[in-house]
Amino acid sequence: MSKKHVVVIGSGFAGLSAATHLAINPNCSVTLLEKNDTPGGRARKFEHQGFVFDMGPSWYWMPDVFEDYFAHFGKKPADYYDLIRLDPSYAVIYGANDTLDIPADLDQFKAMLDRIEPGAGANLDKFLTQAKYKYEVGIHDLVNKPSRSLLEFASPKLVVDMVRMDIFQSMSKHVRKFFSHDKIIRLMEFPVLFLGETAENIPALYSLMNYADIALGTWYPKKGMHEIIKGMVSLAEEKGVKIRYSAEVEEIEIVQGQARNIRLKSGEKIDADIVVAGADYHHVDKHLLNPKYSNYTEAYWDKRVMAPSSLLFYLGINKRLKNLRHHNLFFDEPLGPHADAIYKNPRWPEKPLFYASVPSITDPTVAPEGMENLFLLIPLAPDLKDSEEMREKYFHLIMDRLEKISGQEIRSHVIFKRSYAHSDFKSDYHAFKGNAYGLANTLLQTAILKPGLKNKKVSNLYYTGQLTVPGPGVPPSLISGHVVAKEVMKENNL
Protein backbone atom coordinates (compact mmCIF):
# COMPACT_ATOMS: atom_id res chain seq x y z
CA MET A 1 0.00 0.00 0.00
CA SER A 2 1.34 3.43 -0.92
CA LYS A 3 1.37 5.90 1.93
CA LYS A 4 -1.63 8.17 2.42
CA HIS A 5 -0.70 11.82 2.81
CA VAL A 6 -2.59 13.22 5.80
CA VAL A 7 -2.68 17.00 6.19
CA VAL A 8 -3.47 18.26 9.69
CA ILE A 9 -4.43 21.91 10.08
CA GLY A 10 -3.42 23.56 13.36
CA SER A 11 -0.69 22.76 15.88
CA GLY A 12 -2.61 23.07 19.12
CA PHE A 13 -2.88 20.12 21.50
CA ALA A 14 -5.49 18.36 19.36
CA GLY A 15 -3.68 18.89 16.07
CA LEU A 16 -0.32 17.73 17.43
CA SER A 17 -1.98 14.73 19.06
CA ALA A 18 -3.80 13.71 15.86
CA ALA A 19 -0.70 14.20 13.70
CA THR A 20 1.56 12.14 15.97
CA HIS A 21 -0.91 9.29 16.39
CA LEU A 22 -1.29 9.12 12.60
CA ALA A 23 2.44 9.41 11.94
CA ILE A 24 3.25 6.16 13.74
CA ASN A 25 1.08 4.31 11.24
CA PRO A 26 3.45 3.04 8.53
CA ASN A 27 0.82 3.71 5.88
CA CYS A 28 0.66 7.46 6.63
CA SER A 29 2.83 10.44 5.93
CA VAL A 30 1.76 13.51 7.86
CA THR A 31 2.15 17.23 7.23
CA LEU A 32 0.99 19.65 9.91
CA LEU A 33 0.18 23.22 8.82
CA GLU A 34 0.30 26.02 11.39
CA LYS A 35 -1.00 29.53 10.69
CA ASN A 36 1.29 31.22 13.22
CA ASP A 37 5.08 31.21 13.35
CA THR A 38 5.25 29.10 16.53
CA PRO A 39 3.39 25.95 17.62
CA GLY A 40 0.78 25.47 20.30
CA GLY A 41 -2.29 27.43 19.27
CA ARG A 42 -3.70 28.95 22.43
CA ALA A 43 -0.81 27.35 24.33
CA ARG A 44 1.84 29.49 22.65
CA LYS A 45 4.31 31.51 24.68
CA PHE A 46 6.16 34.76 24.24
CA GLU A 47 9.17 36.33 25.94
CA HIS A 48 10.10 39.89 26.79
CA GLN A 49 13.32 40.95 28.49
CA GLY A 50 13.54 37.89 30.71
CA PHE A 51 9.79 37.44 31.29
CA VAL A 52 8.35 34.23 29.82
CA PHE A 53 4.57 34.21 29.43
CA ASP A 54 2.29 31.27 28.68
CA MET A 55 -0.37 32.84 26.46
CA GLY A 56 -3.24 30.53 27.35
CA PRO A 57 -3.65 27.42 29.51
CA SER A 58 -2.06 27.72 32.94
CA TRP A 59 -3.62 24.80 34.90
CA TYR A 60 -2.13 21.31 34.68
CA TRP A 61 -4.85 18.89 35.79
CA MET A 62 -5.48 15.22 35.00
CA PRO A 63 -1.79 14.17 34.91
CA ASP A 64 -2.82 10.63 33.98
CA VAL A 65 -4.09 11.87 30.60
CA PHE A 66 -0.66 13.29 29.77
CA GLU A 67 0.99 10.09 31.00
CA ASP A 68 -1.31 8.02 28.78
CA TYR A 69 -0.58 10.25 25.80
CA PHE A 70 3.18 9.96 25.98
CA ALA A 71 3.02 6.27 26.96
CA HIS A 72 1.30 5.53 23.66
CA PHE A 73 4.63 6.37 22.01
CA GLY A 74 6.82 4.65 24.60
CA LYS A 75 7.58 7.93 26.36
CA LYS A 76 6.67 9.70 29.58
CA PRO A 77 6.17 13.38 30.46
CA ALA A 78 9.48 13.39 32.39
CA ASP A 79 11.27 12.81 29.07
CA TYR A 80 10.22 16.33 28.08
CA TYR A 81 9.47 18.41 31.18
CA ASP A 82 9.68 18.39 34.97
CA LEU A 83 6.44 18.47 36.96
CA ILE A 84 5.99 20.20 40.31
CA ARG A 85 2.91 19.51 42.44
CA LEU A 86 1.63 22.78 43.84
CA ASP A 87 0.92 22.99 47.57
CA PRO A 88 -1.26 24.84 48.21
CA SER A 89 -2.93 23.91 44.96
CA TYR A 90 -4.40 27.40 44.69
CA ALA A 91 -5.91 30.17 46.77
CA VAL A 92 -9.57 31.17 46.80
CA ILE A 93 -10.06 34.78 47.84
CA TYR A 94 -13.51 35.68 49.16
CA GLY A 95 -12.55 39.18 50.30
CA ALA A 96 -10.03 41.16 52.32
CA ASN A 97 -8.44 38.91 54.98
CA ASP A 98 -10.67 36.06 53.81
CA THR A 99 -8.61 33.56 51.81
CA LEU A 100 -8.61 29.79 51.64
CA ASP A 101 -5.32 28.14 50.72
CA ILE A 102 -6.36 24.81 49.20
CA PRO A 103 -4.00 22.13 50.56
CA ALA A 104 -2.70 19.36 48.31
CA ASP A 105 -3.08 16.82 51.13
CA LEU A 106 -6.58 15.31 51.21
CA ASP A 107 -6.77 14.99 55.00
CA GLN A 108 -5.78 18.62 55.39
CA PHE A 109 -8.40 19.56 52.79
CA LYS A 110 -11.10 17.70 54.71
CA ALA A 111 -10.03 19.34 57.98
CA MET A 112 -10.28 22.74 56.31
CA LEU A 113 -13.83 21.99 55.15
CA ASP A 114 -14.81 20.77 58.64
CA ARG A 115 -13.68 24.09 60.12
CA ILE A 116 -16.05 25.87 57.73
CA GLU A 117 -18.94 23.42 57.99
CA PRO A 118 -18.91 20.60 60.58
CA GLY A 119 -19.32 17.24 58.85
CA ALA A 120 -18.23 18.55 55.45
CA GLY A 121 -15.08 16.41 55.52
CA ALA A 122 -17.07 13.18 55.75
CA ASN A 123 -19.42 14.43 53.06
CA LEU A 124 -16.42 15.16 50.87
CA ASP A 125 -15.51 11.47 51.02
CA LYS A 126 -18.97 10.57 49.70
CA PHE A 127 -18.80 13.30 47.07
CA LEU A 128 -15.37 12.18 45.88
CA THR A 129 -16.39 8.50 45.76
CA GLN A 130 -19.01 9.43 43.17
CA ALA A 131 -16.69 11.86 41.43
CA LYS A 132 -13.96 9.21 41.15
CA TYR A 133 -16.37 6.80 39.49
CA LYS A 134 -17.39 9.50 37.00
CA TYR A 135 -13.76 10.30 36.31
CA GLU A 136 -12.79 6.69 35.70
CA VAL A 137 -15.75 6.02 33.40
CA GLY A 138 -15.76 9.45 31.79
CA ILE A 139 -12.06 9.98 31.14
CA HIS A 140 -11.13 6.37 30.45
CA ASP A 141 -14.21 5.34 28.47
CA LEU A 142 -16.81 7.91 27.39
CA VAL A 143 -14.45 10.62 26.15
CA ASN A 144 -12.64 8.10 23.99
CA LYS A 145 -15.76 7.41 21.93
CA PRO A 146 -16.11 9.25 18.59
CA SER A 147 -19.78 9.98 19.42
CA ARG A 148 -21.00 9.38 15.89
CA SER A 149 -23.88 7.08 16.79
CA LEU A 150 -26.11 6.27 19.75
CA LEU A 151 -25.10 2.64 19.26
CA GLU A 152 -21.74 3.50 20.81
CA PHE A 153 -23.61 4.00 24.09
CA ALA A 154 -26.02 1.07 23.78
CA SER A 155 -24.41 -1.55 26.03
CA PRO A 156 -26.34 -2.40 29.23
CA LYS A 157 -23.28 -1.59 31.35
CA LEU A 158 -22.94 1.82 29.74
CA VAL A 159 -26.64 2.56 30.26
CA VAL A 160 -26.17 1.81 33.97
CA ASP A 161 -23.00 3.89 33.97
CA MET A 162 -24.80 6.83 32.37
CA VAL A 163 -27.38 6.81 35.19
CA ARG A 164 -24.63 6.75 37.80
CA MET A 165 -22.87 9.55 35.93
CA ASP A 166 -25.62 12.05 36.88
CA ILE A 167 -25.98 13.50 33.40
CA PHE A 168 -29.56 14.59 34.07
CA GLN A 169 -28.87 16.35 37.37
CA SER A 170 -27.30 19.79 37.53
CA MET A 171 -23.95 20.37 39.14
CA SER A 172 -25.58 22.97 41.37
CA LYS A 173 -28.10 20.52 42.84
CA HIS A 174 -25.50 17.80 43.14
CA VAL A 175 -23.09 19.94 45.17
CA ARG A 176 -25.87 21.09 47.49
CA LYS A 177 -26.70 17.48 48.36
CA PHE A 178 -23.38 17.34 50.21
CA PHE A 179 -22.59 20.89 51.32
CA SER A 180 -24.53 23.93 52.51
CA HIS A 181 -21.95 26.60 53.28
CA ASP A 182 -21.61 29.17 50.51
CA LYS A 183 -17.82 29.12 50.58
CA ILE A 184 -17.67 25.39 50.03
CA ILE A 185 -20.36 25.49 47.36
CA ARG A 186 -18.45 28.14 45.41
CA LEU A 187 -15.24 26.16 45.80
CA MET A 188 -16.87 22.98 44.51
CA GLU A 189 -18.57 24.76 41.61
CA PHE A 190 -15.42 26.58 40.52
CA PRO A 191 -14.03 23.84 38.21
CA VAL A 192 -17.08 24.03 35.93
CA LEU A 193 -17.01 27.82 35.50
CA PHE A 194 -15.03 27.54 32.29
CA LEU A 195 -17.21 24.80 30.79
CA GLY A 196 -19.46 27.47 29.35
CA GLU A 197 -22.46 27.68 31.65
CA THR A 198 -23.40 28.15 35.28
CA ALA A 199 -23.48 25.16 37.62
CA GLU A 200 -27.28 25.20 37.26
CA ASN A 201 -26.91 24.24 33.60
CA ILE A 202 -23.88 21.94 33.68
CA PRO A 203 -24.54 18.20 34.23
CA ALA A 204 -23.34 16.78 37.55
CA LEU A 205 -21.26 14.41 35.46
CA TYR A 206 -18.61 17.12 35.64
CA SER A 207 -18.00 16.63 39.34
CA LEU A 208 -15.32 14.41 37.81
CA MET A 209 -13.34 17.65 37.58
CA ASN A 210 -13.49 17.97 41.37
CA TYR A 211 -11.88 14.57 41.59
CA ALA A 212 -9.17 15.73 39.20
CA ASP A 213 -8.68 18.85 41.31
CA ILE A 214 -8.78 17.43 44.84
CA ALA A 215 -7.51 13.87 44.43
CA LEU A 216 -5.14 14.09 41.46
CA GLY A 217 -3.80 17.52 42.25
CA THR A 218 -2.71 20.73 40.58
CA TRP A 219 0.67 20.54 38.88
CA TYR A 220 3.02 22.86 37.05
CA PRO A 221 5.54 21.98 34.32
CA LYS A 222 8.76 23.81 35.10
CA LYS A 223 9.41 26.66 32.64
CA GLY A 224 5.70 26.82 31.83
CA MET A 225 2.84 25.08 30.07
CA HIS A 226 4.45 25.62 26.67
CA GLU A 227 7.02 22.99 27.68
CA ILE A 228 4.28 20.42 27.02
CA ILE A 229 3.92 21.75 23.47
CA LYS A 230 7.69 21.68 23.00
CA GLY A 231 7.69 18.06 24.10
CA MET A 232 4.82 17.19 21.78
CA VAL A 233 6.52 18.92 18.84
CA SER A 234 9.76 17.04 19.54
CA LEU A 235 7.87 13.76 19.67
CA ALA A 236 5.86 14.55 16.52
CA GLU A 237 8.99 15.34 14.55
CA GLU A 238 10.70 12.22 15.91
CA LYS A 239 7.78 10.18 14.55
CA GLY A 240 8.04 11.82 11.13
CA VAL A 241 5.50 14.66 11.22
CA LYS A 242 6.56 17.50 8.93
CA ILE A 243 5.53 20.76 10.60
CA ARG A 244 5.24 23.93 8.56
CA TYR A 245 4.84 27.30 10.27
CA SER A 246 3.43 30.55 8.82
CA ALA A 247 1.38 28.28 6.57
CA GLU A 248 -2.15 29.64 6.83
CA VAL A 249 -4.79 27.67 4.94
CA GLU A 250 -7.06 29.76 2.75
CA GLU A 251 -9.15 27.04 1.12
CA ILE A 252 -9.80 23.32 1.21
CA GLU A 253 -10.62 22.42 -2.37
CA ILE A 254 -13.05 19.56 -2.88
CA VAL A 255 -12.63 17.26 -5.88
CA GLN A 256 -15.32 14.64 -6.50
CA GLY A 257 -16.51 14.74 -2.92
CA GLN A 258 -13.04 14.59 -1.36
CA ALA A 259 -10.69 17.18 0.13
CA ARG A 260 -7.75 17.00 -2.26
CA ASN A 261 -6.02 20.36 -2.47
CA ILE A 262 -5.07 22.56 0.46
CA ARG A 263 -4.45 26.08 -0.80
CA LEU A 264 -2.34 28.28 1.43
CA LYS A 265 -2.62 32.03 1.70
CA SER A 266 0.72 32.20 -0.11
CA GLY A 267 -0.91 30.58 -3.13
CA GLU A 268 0.87 27.25 -2.70
CA LYS A 269 -1.21 24.10 -3.09
CA ILE A 270 -0.63 20.92 -1.09
CA ASP A 271 -2.08 17.60 -2.22
CA ALA A 272 -3.87 15.56 0.43
CA ASP A 273 -5.43 12.12 0.68
CA ILE A 274 -6.96 12.84 4.10
CA VAL A 275 -7.48 16.13 5.95
CA VAL A 276 -7.84 16.60 9.71
CA ALA A 277 -8.87 20.11 10.70
CA GLY A 278 -7.62 21.09 14.15
CA ALA A 279 -8.24 24.76 13.44
CA ASP A 280 -11.39 26.48 14.67
CA TYR A 281 -14.26 24.25 13.50
CA HIS A 282 -16.55 27.12 12.54
CA HIS A 283 -13.78 28.80 10.54
CA VAL A 284 -13.08 25.61 8.61
CA ASP A 285 -16.79 24.89 8.11
CA LYS A 286 -17.80 28.36 6.96
CA HIS A 287 -14.65 29.94 5.50
CA LEU A 288 -12.31 27.26 4.18
CA LEU A 289 -14.96 25.19 2.40
CA ASN A 290 -17.28 25.97 -0.46
CA PRO A 291 -20.65 26.58 1.30
CA LYS A 292 -22.22 23.50 -0.28
CA TYR A 293 -19.77 21.35 1.69
CA SER A 294 -20.36 22.95 5.09
CA ASN A 295 -21.38 20.57 7.84
CA TYR A 296 -23.68 23.11 9.48
CA THR A 297 -25.62 26.25 8.68
CA GLU A 298 -24.78 29.65 10.11
CA ALA A 299 -28.05 29.45 12.06
CA TYR A 300 -26.81 26.24 13.69
CA TRP A 301 -23.58 27.91 14.75
CA ASP A 302 -25.35 30.98 16.08
CA LYS A 303 -27.44 28.76 18.36
CA ARG A 304 -24.40 27.07 19.91
CA VAL A 305 -23.75 27.93 23.56
CA MET A 306 -20.15 29.01 23.76
CA ALA A 307 -17.82 28.74 26.73
CA PRO A 308 -16.48 32.11 27.86
CA SER A 309 -13.98 34.24 26.10
CA SER A 310 -11.41 36.10 28.17
CA LEU A 311 -9.64 39.37 28.70
CA LEU A 312 -6.02 38.55 29.56
CA PHE A 313 -3.18 40.67 30.85
CA TYR A 314 0.47 39.66 30.80
CA LEU A 315 2.41 41.81 33.26
CA GLY A 316 6.06 42.09 34.18
CA ILE A 317 6.46 43.38 37.75
CA ASN A 318 9.80 44.83 38.93
CA LYS A 319 9.47 43.57 42.51
CA ARG A 320 8.40 40.46 44.39
CA LEU A 321 4.70 40.22 45.28
CA LYS A 322 3.31 39.21 48.65
CA ASN A 323 0.08 37.54 49.81
CA LEU A 324 -0.46 35.72 46.51
CA ARG A 325 -0.07 32.10 45.43
CA HIS A 326 0.79 30.55 42.09
CA HIS A 327 -2.97 30.35 41.28
CA ASN A 328 -5.45 32.82 42.83
CA LEU A 329 -9.21 32.80 42.28
CA PHE A 330 -10.91 36.07 43.20
CA PHE A 331 -14.46 35.37 44.39
CA ASP A 332 -14.70 38.65 46.28
CA GLU A 333 -17.76 39.62 44.23
CA PRO A 334 -20.95 37.54 43.88
CA LEU A 335 -21.10 35.18 40.91
CA GLY A 336 -24.69 36.06 40.02
CA PRO A 337 -24.22 39.35 38.12
CA HIS A 338 -21.04 38.04 36.49
CA ALA A 339 -22.77 34.83 35.37
CA ASP A 340 -25.67 36.85 33.98
CA ALA A 341 -23.24 38.98 31.99
CA ILE A 342 -21.66 35.89 30.44
CA TYR A 343 -24.55 33.49 29.97
CA LYS A 344 -27.93 35.18 30.14
CA ASN A 345 -27.58 38.73 28.85
CA PRO A 346 -24.05 38.88 27.42
CA ARG A 347 -22.32 42.14 28.21
CA TRP A 348 -19.28 43.52 29.96
CA PRO A 349 -19.84 42.79 33.69
CA GLU A 350 -19.87 45.55 36.29
CA LYS A 351 -18.02 43.49 38.90
CA PRO A 352 -16.07 40.76 37.14
CA LEU A 353 -14.67 37.65 38.70
CA PHE A 354 -11.03 37.18 37.84
CA TYR A 355 -8.05 34.90 38.19
CA ALA A 356 -4.43 35.81 38.87
CA SER A 357 -1.45 33.55 38.30
CA VAL A 358 2.06 34.28 39.54
CA PRO A 359 4.10 31.36 38.14
CA SER A 360 7.37 33.02 39.13
CA ILE A 361 6.51 32.20 42.76
CA THR A 362 7.03 28.54 41.84
CA ASP A 363 9.46 28.94 38.97
CA PRO A 364 12.04 31.76 39.02
CA THR A 365 13.04 30.99 35.42
CA VAL A 366 9.95 32.79 34.03
CA ALA A 367 10.93 36.25 35.36
CA PRO A 368 14.15 38.20 35.92
CA GLU A 369 15.70 37.90 39.37
CA GLY A 370 13.73 39.79 42.01
CA MET A 371 10.74 40.29 39.70
CA GLU A 372 7.39 38.59 39.07
CA ASN A 373 5.48 37.26 36.10
CA LEU A 374 1.79 38.13 36.64
CA PHE A 375 -1.01 36.76 34.45
CA LEU A 376 -4.57 38.05 34.88
CA LEU A 377 -7.73 36.59 33.34
CA ILE A 378 -11.34 37.84 33.32
CA PRO A 379 -13.88 35.38 31.88
CA LEU A 380 -16.23 37.25 29.55
CA ALA A 381 -19.12 36.57 27.22
CA PRO A 382 -18.06 35.65 23.68
CA ASP A 383 -18.56 38.06 20.77
CA LEU A 384 -18.21 41.27 22.79
CA LYS A 385 -16.69 44.25 21.06
CA ASP A 386 -13.45 44.98 22.82
CA SER A 387 -11.41 48.17 22.54
CA GLU A 388 -8.26 49.53 24.13
CA GLU A 389 -10.43 51.84 26.26
CA MET A 390 -12.53 48.91 27.52
CA ARG A 391 -9.46 46.80 28.21
CA GLU A 392 -7.89 49.63 30.19
CA LYS A 393 -11.06 50.19 32.17
CA TYR A 394 -11.16 46.55 33.23
CA PHE A 395 -7.46 46.47 33.96
CA HIS A 396 -7.95 49.16 36.57
CA LEU A 397 -11.16 47.56 37.90
CA ILE A 398 -9.40 44.35 38.80
CA MET A 399 -6.13 45.98 39.82
CA ASP A 400 -8.03 48.10 42.35
CA ARG A 401 -9.29 44.89 43.95
CA LEU A 402 -6.03 42.98 43.59
CA GLU A 403 -4.02 45.74 45.27
CA LYS A 404 -6.55 46.26 48.05
CA ILE A 405 -6.94 42.58 48.89
CA SER A 406 -3.25 41.68 48.62
CA GLY A 407 -2.26 44.85 50.50
CA GLN A 408 0.34 46.19 48.08
CA GLU A 409 0.94 48.65 45.28
CA ILE A 410 1.38 46.86 41.96
CA ARG A 411 0.51 49.19 39.09
CA SER A 412 3.46 51.52 39.66
CA HIS A 413 5.76 48.49 39.42
CA VAL A 414 4.48 47.25 36.03
CA ILE A 415 7.37 47.44 33.59
CA PHE A 416 5.73 45.34 30.87
CA LYS A 417 2.06 45.06 29.96
CA ARG A 418 0.22 43.31 27.15
CA SER A 419 -3.50 42.66 26.84
CA TYR A 420 -5.32 40.00 24.83
CA ALA A 421 -9.06 39.63 24.17
CA HIS A 422 -11.77 38.76 21.65
CA SER A 423 -10.27 40.48 18.61
CA ASP A 424 -6.92 38.78 19.27
CA PHE A 425 -8.52 35.34 19.55
CA LYS A 426 -10.19 36.01 16.21
CA SER A 427 -7.09 37.28 14.42
CA ASP A 428 -4.66 34.69 15.82
CA TYR A 429 -6.91 31.60 15.81
CA HIS A 430 -9.97 32.54 13.72
CA ALA A 431 -11.86 31.79 16.94
CA PHE A 432 -15.63 31.73 16.48
CA LYS A 433 -17.07 34.75 18.33
CA GLY A 434 -13.65 35.27 19.85
CA ASN A 435 -14.08 32.16 22.01
CA ALA A 436 -11.25 31.17 24.33
CA TYR A 437 -12.48 27.76 25.53
CA GLY A 438 -14.65 26.37 22.75
CA LEU A 439 -18.15 24.99 23.10
CA ALA A 440 -19.97 24.87 26.41
CA ASN A 441 -20.40 21.41 27.93
CA THR A 442 -24.13 21.63 28.46
CA LEU A 443 -26.28 18.48 28.32
CA LEU A 444 -27.54 19.42 24.84
CA GLN A 445 -23.96 19.86 23.66
CA THR A 446 -22.52 16.60 24.98
CA ALA A 447 -21.25 13.58 23.02
CA ILE A 448 -23.32 13.02 19.86
CA LEU A 449 -24.92 16.45 20.31
CA LYS A 450 -21.61 18.23 19.65
CA PRO A 451 -20.47 19.16 16.14
CA GLY A 452 -19.39 15.88 14.57
CA LEU A 453 -15.77 14.89 14.02
CA LYS A 454 -16.48 13.91 10.38
CA ASN A 455 -17.75 16.04 7.52
CA LYS A 456 -21.06 14.65 6.28
CA LYS A 457 -20.47 15.69 2.65
CA VAL A 458 -16.72 15.28 2.24
CA SER A 459 -15.62 11.69 2.73
CA ASN A 460 -12.03 12.34 3.85
CA LEU A 461 -12.40 15.49 5.99
CA TYR A 462 -12.30 15.17 9.79
CA TYR A 463 -12.32 17.63 12.70
CA THR A 464 -10.58 17.68 16.06
CA GLY A 465 -10.29 20.12 18.95
CA GLN A 466 -12.36 21.99 21.48
CA LEU A 467 -15.45 22.54 19.29
CA THR A 468 -15.99 18.83 18.71
CA VAL A 469 -15.76 15.72 20.90
CA PRO A 470 -14.94 15.33 23.70
CA GLY A 471 -14.86 19.07 24.48
CA PRO A 472 -12.83 22.02 25.77
CA GLY A 473 -9.69 21.90 27.86
CA VAL A 474 -6.15 20.61 27.41
CA PRO A 475 -6.67 16.93 28.40
CA PRO A 476 -9.84 16.61 26.27
CA SER A 477 -7.98 18.14 23.32
CA LEU A 478 -5.20 15.57 23.66
CA ILE A 479 -7.86 12.86 23.69
CA SER A 480 -9.70 14.45 20.74
CA GLY A 481 -6.62 14.09 18.56
CA HIS A 482 -6.31 10.39 19.41
CA VAL A 483 -10.03 9.75 18.85
CA VAL A 484 -10.01 11.31 15.38
CA ALA A 485 -6.78 9.52 14.44
CA LYS A 486 -8.38 6.17 15.28
CA GLU A 487 -11.42 7.06 13.15
CA VAL A 488 -9.20 8.05 10.23
CA MET A 489 -7.28 4.79 10.40
CA LYS A 490 -10.42 2.66 10.79
CA GLU A 491 -12.34 4.26 7.95
CA ASN A 492 -9.40 4.32 5.56
CA ASN A 493 -8.13 0.80 6.34
CA LEU A 494 -4.78 2.13 7.49
How do the residues of the chain divide into helix, strand and coil, expressed in percent and rounded to 5?
A: 45, 20, 35
Q: What is the CATH number for 464?
A: 3.50.50.60
**Shared domain check, 337 and 422:** yes
Range of the domain at 155: 110-211
Amino acid at 493: N
For residue 282, the model assigns a pLDDT of: 98
For residue 68, the model assigns a pLDDT of: 98
Residue 460, pLDDT > 90, answer yes
Q: What is the CATH number for 386?
A: 3.30.519
Structurally, how many domains does the chain consist of? 3
Residue 43, pLDDT > 80, answer yes
How large is the average pLDDT for residues 157-177?
Answer: 83
Residues 190/329, Cβ–Cβ less than 8 Å: yes
For residue 466, the model assigns a pLDDT of: 95
**Shared domain check, 416 and 451:** no
Q: Read off φ and ψ for residue 220, nearest 5 degrees.
A: -145, 125
Residue 162, pLDDT > 70, answer no
**Shared domain check, 343 and 283:** no
Q: What is the CATH number for 121?
A: 1.10.405
Residues 183/209, Cβ–Cβ less than 8 Å: no
Among 180, 211, 242, identify where a domain stops: 211
Please tell me the least confidently modeled range out of 96-100, 351-355, 391-395, 441-445.
441-445
Global pTM reads 0.97
**Shared domain check, 264 and 176:** no
**Shared domain check, 375 and 316:** yes
| 310 part of a folded domain | yes
**Shared domain check, 373 and 334:** yes
**Shared domain check, 425 and 312:** yes
Among 187, 211, 235, identify where a domain stops: 211
List Cα–Cα distances, 201 to 162, 173, 174, 432, 443, in angstroms.
18, 10, 12, 22, 8
Distance CA 220, CA 303 (A): 36
Q: What is the dihedral of CA 411, 426, 18, 477, to 10 degrees?
A: 50
Q: Which is it for strands 219-221 and 372-380: parallel, antiparallel or unpaired?
A: unpaired
Please tell me the least confidently modeled range out of 81-90, 161-170, 196-205.
161-170
pLDDT band of 63, cuts 50, 70, 90: very high
For residue 492, the model assigns a pLDDT of: 97
pLDDT tens-digit series, residues 174-193: 999 999 999 999 999 998 87
For residue 164, the model assigns a pLDDT of: 82
- 392: Cβ contacts below 8 Å, ≥ 6 apart: none
| 97 part of a folded domain | no
Residues 324/406, Cβ–Cβ less than 8 Å: yes
| 92 part of a folded domain | no
Q: Say how many residues make up the chain.
A: 494
| 98 part of a folded domain | no
**Shared domain check, 237 and 172:** no
Please name every residue paired with 314 in a beta bridge, in sequence order, or none if there are none: 375, 418
| 61 part of a folded domain | yes
For residue 151, the model assigns a pLDDT of: 75
Rg (CA), the chain: 22
The better pLDDT of the pair 164, 10 is held by: 10
Among 79, 53, 191, 49, which Cα is nearest to 134's?
191
- 140: Cβ contacts below 8 Å, ≥ 6 apart: none
How large is the average pLDDT for residues 144-154?
Answer: 83
Amino acid at 81: Y
pLDDT tens-digit series, residues 66-119: 999 999 999 999 999 999 999 999 999 999 999 999 999 999 999 999 999 999
How large is the average pLDDT for residues 17-39?
Answer: 98
**Shared domain check, 315 and 408:** yes
Taking residue 431's Cβ as centre, other Cβ atoms within 10 Å add up to: 27
pLDDT tens-digit series, residues 218-275: 999 999 999 999 999 999 999 999 999 999 999 999 999 999 999 999 999 999 999 9
- 116: Cβ contacts below 8 Å, ≥ 6 apart: 181, 183, 184
| 89 part of a folded domain | no
* Consecutive H or E run containing 2: none
Distance CA 106, CA 111 (A): 9
**Shared domain check, 320 and 396:** yes
Residue 280, pLDDT > 90, answer yes
| 104 part of a folded domain | no
* Consecutive H or E run containing 8: strand 4-9
| 118 part of a folded domain | yes
**Shared domain check, 328 and 390:** yes
Residue 345, pLDDT > 70, answer yes
Residue 150, pLDDT > 80, answer no
pLDDT band of 159, cuts 50, 70, 90: low
**Shared domain check, 346 and 257:** no
Among 409, 429, 449, identify where a domain stops: 429
Mean of per-residue pLDDT scores for the chain: 95
List Cα–Cα distances, 63 to 59, 70, 190, 221, 464, in angstroms.
11, 11, 19, 11, 21
